Structure 1
Amino acid sequence: MKINKVLAQKIADKVMSVIPYKVNIMDENGLIIGSGDKKRVDTIHKGAVSAIEQRTMVTIYKPEGSSKPGVNIPIHFQNQTIGVIGISGDPRIVAPFAELVRVTAELLIDQEFLFKERRIKEQMMEEFLYHWVFRNNEYDTAFFNSAESIGVNLKLVRKAVILKGKLRKQPSLFAQEFTFKLNQESQLFIVPDTSDIVHRLEPLISQDSKVGIGDRHKIMAKSFQEAKRAIEISESLKFAQIICDYPQLKFIDYLTNKNVAFDEIIPFYAQLDENQKGQELLETLLCFIENSGDMNAISYKLHIHRNSLAYRLQRIEILTNKNPKKFIDLFQLFTGYVLYKMKHTSS
């Protein structure tokens, strides 16, 4: 740690605000870098040189060249002499202030050091988070080590949450939750997949905001791109909802982007084909589609009671997280069925 001119002048001004004497701050070579007398800056203080060499307070009773009467006491940081603080005046009067002034100077230096350390860590975190969300390939040992050095656990499954809009205030963040500004209008939150960050954000955002939520992934860049895409889809289609959950919008992304795999529902149909109960659910779904959701007509064709039909539709919703009575969900169920049958037939 070195004392720069800005910090030195800050210390000199601070000390002179509480004692009625001129104060000089010298660096580790005895050069005056902060002073109550600006004309003395950038000159060598012989008393300070002696104090550095002797590592103890040096008292000057008579003027010696540029040195004036007063006391000069070394400033220490982490057991090293990094400078000297001098108080001009009658040594018998100013000497009692010396230790108090030294302690004040060292506290200010410690404070400056901690501020710089914190800022360096913040910059390291910001740089790491930026690289993290744009890194599409697998994490190597060096990347894991970088994460560990700043307290990021890369082994956690996470999701990205993007807020596009203004926050009334920043939400509280818990362990392993991180955030940084993407640009003037967007802020990214990187959180464990079990985090309730969206719940914490909702009361803090305006009605014209959008919150994009990516799916859970080990590679953060994938979730980040999904969160961005969720907002893009919602804005393009002018959806009113503020919360844009990519897993719920992925089907729309599939329709417009053939690079997106739509495989969430296909395994569902493969499982149905394996047993009689499953085939009953499949038959019910297809009958529901063919009869445009007419419950009476469906019950008649399947020879089951309406309560049984309602139970089967409920089972389909539980298994797929898609409600057949909702048009978009039904569209996804039907498209998944078509894709499954096409793949199954071709194989």
Structure 2
Amino acid sequence: MFLLDASLAQSIVDRAMQILRTNVNVMDERGLIIASGDRTRIGTRHDGALLVLAQARTIEIDEAMASRLQDARAGINLPLRAEGRVVGVVGLSGDPAAMREHAELVRMAAETMLEQAQWLQTLARDERLRDELVLQLIGVAPAAAGLEAWAHQLRIDLAQPRAAILVELADEVLDADGLLACQQRLRRVLASAVPGLLCAAVSLRELAVLWPQADVDRQPDGLRALLDKLQLRLVDVAGGPVRLALGGHFGGSEGLARAWQSARATLQAGRRHRPQDVVLCYDELTLPVLLSGLGEGWRAEELQRPLRRLAEHDREGQLRRTLATWFAHDMKAVPSAAALHVHRNTLDYRLRKVGELTGLDLSRLGDCLLLFIGLELDRSLSL
């Protein structure tokens, strides 16, 4: 329900008095003066306004009538309507006969301002509802009853497949006010990017974006190219670093929540594996993301046991770095040796040493997986 507040009422008074050489009052639906050119009258009851509110029509007060009312002055008082009802009264001081034409113009201008305020209020309400809906869809906020009706009111198709993207503001310099302002700029860009896109703030540094899959499918260069272009645009608007993480695609009622969880996990895995990348995709980091959930309990201890044995004899970490580089290059000797700046024979020697110290055979896939998973878990825990 729309309510006439003092700030809006004073705006009406100020605008009218820029044109008219008379005092203007605005009263709320209780008949109290909430804005006036004469500040001493604010907070007092206006008997003329009470008559307007009771009869829902314009009331003119001449000098004779004013003398019979408490603290009343000659003038003309008109009802202000919004949402089909009277929400307040605007009054102009002076001879009613001389003020009629001006009073009607002031009333029309005031109701136009009320309509605009009501429209902005509706937009702000819908934006809050959209934010809450997005947070429920991704599982950050608990699901409320009547979600489908809520979405229908906002003209959001819940059946439409969407991709979940985490937008991270990586600027460490901005304070809370700066981050909020940056968020608003980014949200305006995202809202204009494609019809049907949904966006909500998860924290000061994180935005959740639900991108319509239909729009993604229409991209001639694929989703990765779309994200690269979007990231550059967001950086330009933010004036600082912005990182994007795209989650996986999951069906079912919990699909968007899982997509968001995978986007967050992708961002965390990307910090370990691709710290220089500003666009991260679940499909490119699937294994590290899935392994990140094994970091606790006796299973994690068992998976890391071979690396602990290695660490006892590898004080400077040379063998561990060699193993990690070998895995990073898909266990291919030539690119691994080049990345380490060593001869291939040196690489072979170090890998044999890793096998001896851990008790594992690096020619067996299962043993390689144990070492690979152990490294992934260790990276996850040390982040």
TM-score bracket relative to the smaller structure: 0.5 to 0.7
* Root-mean-square deviation (Å): 3.3
Tell me, what secondary structure is at the counterpart of 1:125?
helix
Q: Residues 28-67 of structure 1 correspond to what in structure 2 (within 5 A)?
A: 28-62=29-63, 63-64=66-67, 65-67=70-72
Paired residues of 1:73 and 1:86 also in contact (CA < 8 A): yes
Paired residues of 1:136 and 1:221 also in contact (CA < 8 A): no
Is residue 2:158 matched to residue 1:165? Answer: no
Paired residues of 1:30 and 1:52 also in contact (CA < 8 A): yes
Paired residues of 1:159 and 1:217 also in contact (CA < 8 A): no
* Alignment match, 1:242: 278
Gaps of 5+ in 1: 260-288, 294-333, 339-347
Distance 2:259 2:332 in 1: 38
Q: Which amino acid aligns with 1:104?
A: A
Q: Which amino acid aligns with 1:184?
A: L
Paired residues of 2:231 and 2:242 also in contact (CA < 8 A): no
Shift of 1:98: 1.0
Shift of 1:108: 1.3
Distance 1:149 1:87 in 2: 41
Tell me, what secondary structure is at the counterpart of 2:114?
helix
Q: Residues 119-158 of structure 1 correspond to what in structure 2 (within 5 A)?
A: 119-134=124-139, 142-158=146-162
Tell me, what secondary structure is at the counterpart of 1:134?
coil
- Alignment match of 2:243 (pick from 210, 218, 233): 210
Paired residues of 1:158 and 1:190 also in contact (CA < 8 A): yes
Distance 2:134 2:262 in 1: 17
Q: Tell me which protein shows more helix as a share of its residues.
A: 2
Distance 1:117 1:136 in 2: 23
* Alignment match, 1:83: 88
* Alignment match, 1:177: 197
Tell me, what secondary structure is at the counterpart of 2:90?
strand
Is residue 2:65 matched to residue 1:70? Answer: no
Tell me, what secondary structure is at the counterpart of 1:182?
strand
The structure number with the bigger radius of gyration is 1
Paired residues of 2:164 and 2:260 also in contact (CA < 8 A): yes
TM-score with structure 1 length normalisation? 0.67
Q: Which amino acid aligns with 1:202?
A: Q
* Alignment match, 2:23: 22
Shift of 1:88: 0.5
Number of aligned residue pairs: give it: 268
Tell me, what secondary structure is at the counterpart of 2:122?
helix
* Alignment match, 1:231: 267
* Alignment match, 2:177: none
Paired residues of 2:262 and 2:289 also in contact (CA < 8 A): no
* Alignment match, 2:9: 8
Paired residues of 1:193 and 1:216 also in contact (CA < 8 A): no
